[in-house]
Structures are given as structure tokens and as C-alpha cells.
Amino acid sequence: MKKPKFVHGYVDRHGKPRYYFRRDGAKNVALPGLPWSPDFMAAYEAAMAGHTAPVRLHGAPGSIDALIAAYYKHKSFTESLATATQNMRRPILERFRLEHGDKRAAVLQRQHVIKILEGKTRNAQKNWLKTFRGLMTFAIMQGVRADDPSQGLKAVKGPKSKGHMTWLEPQVAQYREHHKLGTVARLALELLLNIAARRHDAHALGRQHITEGRLCWRPHKTLRTTGKMLKVKIIPQFQAALDVMPESKGVLNFLTNDYGRPFASAAAFGNKFADWCRAAGLKPVLCDDGKVRNYRAHGLRKAALRALAHSGCTGSEMMQVGGHSSLQQLQEYLDEVEQERQADSAMAKLMAATIKTETA
């Protein structure tokens, strides 16, 4: 997450992210909450103005500022959206609020939305539209607007992002060589590869989730929607890593921080996993789309799904491991396997035809 200017952050020994305003010639100011949240931005603006006491934003009735403030307090935001989704959408809403907060929500038109989208990347446009439409649904529900001015608009077409770097066998082997059995770092890798877990689930799982040789849990991402329970068999690699781990008194979580306590958040675990990757010598990679990517926890989820596809698993079988809601989400892995199969078949036919011609 990009931070405002002069903001510095770190994760404390409890795994909690902390942020400070640091500017030459000014006193350091602790900032509450996460970047771009209302309380954070109030304290940030006060610090920028040379004050240490946070100031509250007061939007006029009917303004975008007031609409967003009300949205933050409503269950359509606090209950309907997962915490991770809230954390992703707050910065987008806060940027929109800072630039247009004093304007009336009712007069926002389609051309204004198009103007805001200009200059954003495809993914940024998709995220902005999702966030904005959630706000507009709330505005319509509250009678502030009669319609959604973004209706029918789509993100510009462009090269599809490859997202997180997918781990391949050499990277997994390199990580295993550095992080031996008996370490939390190694256990994390084996857990992620076993169940193709998102980091939010991985950091929360523990021995209490083991039943009859399976890990049983409800994925955090779909907890508010389907609430589906996943039951995935523990494979030998993860079991071997688990068997040699020292017992932690009073802690059920598989993964713990340097102080033997559960990670405070998925982000804290993700940051620590990034440290483990660097320690293993996994360097950033310049990809063919011109972007530099690092090996991170989510890349292991992709690696696990890729391994399932290459093992001959069907899309439906992969869904039951990864917790996906549609086959479309897994199509890239299935397409990769099918491309290789058909290419191999084509080359075999070509070779057979060549041999037949030469011997004729």
C-alpha cells in the first residue's frame, strides 16, 4: 500500500503495523490506524499543518465527504465487506474524498467518473469502479442519489497482469535448502503448498483445525458469502514439517512470530514471509511484461494450484482445494496444461511425419 508523503511505518514486535509522520525540522507524530483511513488522514493533515492534535473532517450534508463518512459506519461497509476488502477500499475512498469531498454527491455525472478513471492502469480502474459502485449502492439506498453514474463503464482493455510471481520447483528447492525442517519458515512453505491457502487463512490455521488427517476451515474471503467449509487432506511434506516443530505452550497456531505468538494480522505474516524469502536468496525477477516481481506467500498459492493442474486434477477438484467459487478463476492453470499437452501432441505428429518422409 502506497503511503502519503513523509509517512514511515514498521511492524512492531507484536506484529502490529505502526506509522509515524516524519519531516525534517518537525517533531515525529504517531498516526492512528492504517494509511488513508479517516482517523489516519485527520492526524496526517494536522501534522502537515504543523499541529499535533488530530482534526476531524466535517462534511456538509449531501457532500461526498459526508456520504463516505456515513458509509464507513454502515453495515454495508462494516459487516458486508471482509476486513481485507475494507482495508483495500479505504485508501481509494479517501483519495476520492480528499479531491472531491466538498462536492455534492447528487450532481456527480458519468463524465466526471470517466475523467477520474483517465490515467489509471487497468487494475486500478477495476478496483476504483468496484469501490465506487459500493459507495453508490449505499448512496441510492440512503436516497442521496437515484442512480449510479458508473453504470455500464468498464476498465480499459490492456495487457492482463500476471499478478504475484508463481513459484516453480527451483525456487521451492532453494527455499527448502535454506530453511530447514523445524523452523516456522519451513512450516509456512509446506502449509501454503499443501492447501493452496491465502495468507489470511494460513496465519490463522492451527492444530485445532486438524480432523482425521485433514485441515478443516472456512476461508476468510468467503466467510460472509458462502461460508463454505474446506476439508483438505494433509500431505506427507507438511506432516513431516509439523512433526518436528517444538510444541508451543498455549498457542495452537501453526505459524508464530519471533516471540512465539500468533501473527497479529495477515499483513504481518506476509511481511515476515518476505523476510524469509530474502534470507533464502530469492531475488526479484524482471518479467516479460516489464514489471519486477518478488517471490511472496501468494505466489505459493499459485504454485500449489499449478501443481494440481499439472497432476491431472480437474477444475472442479482444484476448486475444492483452493476454495474458488468458479472455474473461470482457475482457467489460466488449466489452459497452461492443455497448451503443453496439445503442443506436445503436435510436435509428436510432426516428428512422426518427418520420419515417415525420410524413410519413404
pLDDT at 83: 80
For residue 31, the enclosing domain spans 7-141
Q: Which residues of the chain have pLDDT under 50?
A: 52-57
CA 87 to each of CA 129, 137, 267, 336: distance values in angstroms, whole numbers, following the listed order:
16, 19, 11, 33
In a domain, 75, yes or no: yes
One-letter amino acid identity for 42?
A: A
At 251 the three-state DSSP class reads: coil
Rounded to whole angstroms, how far apart are CA atoms 262 and 269? 9
DSSP letter assigned to residue 5: T
In this structure, the answer to whether residues 215 and 294 fall within a common structural domain is: yes
In a domain, 146, yes or no: no
pLDDT at 98: 87
CATH of the domain at 264: 1.10.443.10
Look up the pTM and report it: 0.68
In this structure, the answer to whether residues 180 and 133 fall within a common structural domain is: no
Total tally of structural domains belonging to the chain: 2
In this structure, the answer to whether residues 322 and 174 fall within a common structural domain is: yes
In a domain, 345, yes or no: no
In this structure, the answer to whether residues 177 and 91 fall within a common structural domain is: no
Q: What is the pLDDT of residues 105-150, one digit of tens each?
A: 999 999 999 999 998 988 899 999 999 999 999 999 999 999 999 9
In this structure, the answer to whether residues 18 and 80 fall within a common structural domain is: yes
In a domain, 100, yes or no: yes
In this structure, the answer to whether residues 193 and 135 fall within a common structural domain is: no
Here the cell at position 337 is 496444461
In this structure, the answer to whether residues 35 and 179 fall within a common structural domain is: no
Rounded to whole angstroms, how far apart are CA atoms 197 and 162? 18
Rounded to whole angstroms, how far apart are CA atoms 88 and 108? 23
In this structure, the answer to whether residues 35 and 183 fall within a common structural domain is: no
pLDDT at 301: 95
In this structure, the answer to whether residues 200 and 310 fall within a common structural domain is: yes
| Placement of cell 518479467 in the chain | 287
In this structure, the answer to whether residues 76 and 190 fall within a common structural domain is: no
254: Cβ–Cβ under 8 A, 6 or more apart, which residues? 187, 188, 191, 202, 205, 206, 207, 242, 245
In this structure, the answer to whether residues 74 and 204 fall within a common structural domain is: no
In a domain, 335, yes or no: no
In this structure, the answer to whether residues 309 and 173 fall within a common structural domain is: yes
In a domain, 148, yes or no: no
- To 10 degrees, the CA torsion angle through 106, 69, 199, 232? -70
Rounded to whole angstroms, how far apart are CA atoms 118 and 148? 18
In a domain, 156, yes or no: no
In a domain, 337, yes or no: no
